Amino acid sequence: MAKSLHGFSPSAVQEFKAHFNDFDADGDGFVTAPELTKLMKQMAVADPSFKFDEKDVAAYIKEVDKNNNGTIEFDEFLDVVASAKSGKLEGFSALYAKKKELIVIKSDGGGAHSLAVEEVAAFASHLNNILADEKEMKAFIPIKEEGMDLVQKVSDGWLLAKFINLIVKDTIDERALNRAKGNKGLIEVQKQENLNLVIKAALSIGVKVTSVGATDLMNGEKSPWIVLGLLWQLVKLHLLNSINLKNHPELIALLEDGETLADLLKLPPEQLLLRWFNYHLKAAGHKKINNFGGDVRDSDAYLTLLNQLDKNKCSLAGLQTDDLSQRATTTIGNAEKLGVKPMIKNKDIVAGNPKLNLAFTAAIFNQCPGLTKLSEEEIKKFGLMDDDFGDSREERAFRMWINSLNIDDREGGQVYVNSLFDDCKNGLVLLLTIDKVTMDDQKKKGIVNWKQVNMKPKNKFQSLPNTNYAVQLCIDKKEVLKLSLVGIAGSDIYDGQKKALLALVWQLMRFHTLKYLAAASQVIFNKPNATDEMIIEWANKNVADSGKSLKISTYQDPNLKDGLFFIYLLASIRSDIIDWEIVKTPSSGALSKEDSLLNAKYAISIARKLGGTIFLLPEDIYELKPKMILTFLASCMSIYGDVLRTKKK
């Protein structure tokens, strides 16, 4: 053993033993093939750029196993460390070097999760950049890029709330957040309420929050992979949210031969960004890239892109060296000359980290798209007006609702709708949604017969049978879905008839809302199904019992307009949840539009703070949108049902 220590100091050997223990999961002193396989799988999850192949495991062990006993022992492991120290990164040495870049966290259940150190640092850097000027963030910023400082600082909800509001303005009414007073920090229940609000708000803007709970975020050190998974979605949304034709009509320049505007509109931001990158590469006479991983690791494409965006500030001199690390450093420097605040490091570019390279490219685009602006006349000529983007509030709400259902796409992924009108054209998303909302919780089966569905429709001929089947299901299963589809045909869905699609999806959303009110209805009314009349009667009774005289008769009652009814209703569910100094009340006459919207915004955040899933906006309340008001009242009723069940326990 003494010979195999390679002259390392005792403290160094102790450090290497800690690395060895990450490989040796059961601590028996031997790294076996199953242990190595498990670790490599974890590494692949933590860093998608890491290519994992189980066939490599036997070769790795054979390479290191000097005594041919089929395992790797610590002295053999030190041989690998010495090889890595000398700069020879091949085979197991390269695997060891990659492993050192990851943090391994052991969970309470005995499992282990790997976190990419570079991603922890990158997310911390991004938050430091964008929140540095926020006065209320002085207690949080700067976040240390090393260790667990990042996951510790999300524990009371404030940092995440600020970040969400930077992504989509006013998503969270910060007046509803619990604040620390004096030198006293927030108690656990106050943190939990803040984090409930954050999670539900994130869901409302399209973030997947499956398996993300307030407790996970409050105790981030125990499950940092959950915190980082949520943060990555938020970082991605922050950087990609404006990459669309509504915000950048000049992206129409990316249209390719034979394409229509509709083809471009339905591209998700990642694909649009990749096409933008290749548009500039083509203009420079450079070959195209196919991904944000291996294709950019030599910085060749980056340096060309930046030079194309600004030849005066960003030269191609970086290409004169074969040192990839130096090229990457020059790339980052050139981006900074354009005003980009990159969260990526040179080693992340060289490693081909797809997440961080996607984020870096998006940051470049947001700072300097390098495309010719369109005039208002040109925007009108191409039909690029707001209404043509399907970005109505109803479309947004229905799209976010579908995304919140966590629908399995039957191919190992999940459904994510970028544009309701485009993504539903082939009928597949509608059928998946119908199946999900009619799912029998015990049989795990919905009403769709998947043998009748074309799972990969590529044209109208293949799509129409799907849309026809979706409509037919709603008609044939009327006793199940209780939908009314008078005058709606499958061809309307394919042809992009917006009113027809919105009517169909709304009825599915309403069915799902009332279905999941069943538990609350059973507790409140001792009946499995709540009617509209019962919901309104319940709301009026609760408000009256709390000492308020306000009441409503329909979902379009003018008494809903100023938001006060919802605030009174939420106060009746939990009396201490409202800060009455914030609430706007009329001294005489009706409240102004501004004050009414403030009340509505506050009510929405309070409902989310109590755990409600809300998709409407303050404007929906002020404008008395009956569909969305129903969903809000239903969410309040669901919260009340949960409170009653908790009391009974």
Residue 27 falls in which region: left (phi positive, over 0), alpha (psi -120 to 50) or beta: left
Q: What is the DSSP letter of 384?
A: -
Distance between CA atoms of residues 372 and 250, nearest Å: 6
Distance between CA atoms of residues 636 and 565, nearest Å: 12
Buried b (16+ CB within 10 A) or exposed e, 553-590: eebebeebbbbbbbbbbbbbbeeeebeeeebbeeeeee
| Residue with more model confidence, 486 or 508 | 508
In which element (H, E) is residue 30 found? strand 30-31
Distance between CA atoms of residues 379 and 249, nearest Å: 7
Distance of CA 236 to the CA centre of its chain: 8
Average pLDDT over the chain, rounded to an integer? 86
- For the residues 18-22, what does the mean pLDDT come to? 73
Q: What is the DSSP letter of 419?
A: -
- For the residues 262-284, what does the mean pLDDT come to? 90
- In the block, which residue shows the tokens 């031997």? 30
Distance between CA atoms of residues 319 and 312, nearest Å: 16
In which band, very low, low, confident or very high, does the pLDDT at 96 lie, cut at 50, 70 and 90? confident
- For the residues 41-61, what does the mean pLDDT come to? 73
| 294-317 tens-digit pLDDT | 899 999 999 999 999 999 999 999
| 564-622 tens-digit pLDDT | 999 999 999 998 999 999 999 988 778 999 999 999 999 999 999 999 999 999 999 99
Contacts 24+ apart (CB under 8 A), 122-125: 122/343, 122/344, 122/345, 122/348, 122/356, 122/359, 123/150, 123/228, 123/231, 123/232, 123/235, 123/343, 124/149, 124/150, 125/343
- In the block, which residue shows the tokens 């060296």? 321
pLDDT of residue 406: 86
pLDDT of residue 453: 93
Strands 72-73 and 30-31: antiparallel
Residue type, 63: E
| Entry pTM | 0.80
pLDDT at 389 over 50: no
Q: Residue 213: which residues within 8 A CB-CB, separation 6 or more? A: 199
Handedness of CA 420, 425, 431, 432 (dihedral sign): negative
CATH of domain 390-515: 1.10.418.10
pLDDT of residue 442: 67
Secondary structure class of 31 (helix, strand, coil): strand
> How far are the Cα atoms of 196, 257, 538 from residue 569, in angstroms, in the given order?
19, 56, 10
| 326-357 tens-digit pLDDT | 999 999 999 999 999 999 999 889 888 888 99
| 106-142 tens-digit pLDDT | 555 545 455 567 888 899 999 999 999 888 899 899 9
Distance between CA atoms of residues 388 and 497, nearest Å: 12
pLDDT at 409 over 90: no
Q: Residue 55: which residues within 8 A CB-CB, separation 6 or more? A: none
Q: Which superfamily does CATH assign the domain made up of 518-648 to?
A: Calponin-like domain (1.10.418.10)
Q: Of 387-396, 420-429, 616-625, which gets the smallest average pLDDT?
A: 387-396
pLDDT of residue 481: 78
Q: Which two tokens stand for residue 440?
A: 């029998």
pLDDT of residue 388: 39
Residues of the chain with CATH 1.10.418.10: 118-240, 249-381, 390-515, 518-648
Distance between CA atoms of residues 358 and 73, nearest Å: 39
Distance between CA atoms of residues 15 and 301, nearest Å: 38
Pair 361, 292: CB distance under 8 Å? yes
Residues, the chain: 649
pLDDT of residue 86: 57
pLDDT of residue 210: 80
pLDDT of residue 202: 95
Q: Which two tokens stand for residue 19?
A: 């690395």
Secondary structure class of 355 (helix, strand, coil): helix
* Domain 2-100 top-level CATH class: mainly alpha
pLDDT of residue 225: 81
Q: Which CATH architecture has domain 118-240?
A: Orthogonal Bundle (1.10)
Q: Would you list the DSSP string of 156-185? A: TSHHHHHHHHHHSTTSS-GGGS---BTTB-
Distance between CA atoms of residues 336 and 278, nearest Å: 21
Phi first, then psi, for residue 319 (nearest 5°) are -75, -10
Pair 494, 426: CB distance under 8 Å? yes
Phi first, then psi, for residue 638 (nearest 5°) are -65, -40
In which element (H, E) is residue 151 found? helix 149-152
- For the residues 165-194, what does the mean pLDDT come to? 91
Q: Residue 491: which residues within 8 A CB-CB, separation 6 or more? A: 464, 467, 468
| 450-467 tens-digit pLDDT | 999 999 888 899 999 999
Q: Which residue spans within 48-192 are E strands per DSSP? A: 72-73, 102-106, 112-116
Phi first, then psi, for residue 636 (nearest 5°) are -60, -40
pLDDT of residue 65: 86
Residue type, 413: G
Helices 55-64 & 33-46 angle (0-180, nearest 10): 120
pLDDT of residue 391: 47
132: number of Cβ within 10 Å: 12
pLDDT at 5 over 60: no
- For the residues 152-161, what does the mean pLDDT come to? 94
Pair 501, 471: CB distance under 8 Å? no
pLDDT at 293 over 80: yes
353: number of Cβ within 10 Å: 28
Distance between CA atoms of residues 321 and 88, nearest Å: 21
Residues of the chain with CATH 1.10.238.10: 2-100
pLDDT of residue 387: 45
Q: Which CATH number fits domain 249-381: 3.50.20.10, 2.60.40.60, 1.10.418.10, 1.10.10.60?
A: 1.10.418.10
pLDDT at 252 over 80: yes
Phi first, then psi, for residue 133 (nearest 5°) are -95, 0
Q: Would you list the DSSP string of 308-353? A: HH-TTT--SGGGG---HHHHHHHHHHHHHHTT------HHHHHHT-
Q: What are residue 116's DSSP bridge partners? A: 102
pLDDT at 10 over 80: no
Q: What are residue 102's DSSP bridge partners? A: 116
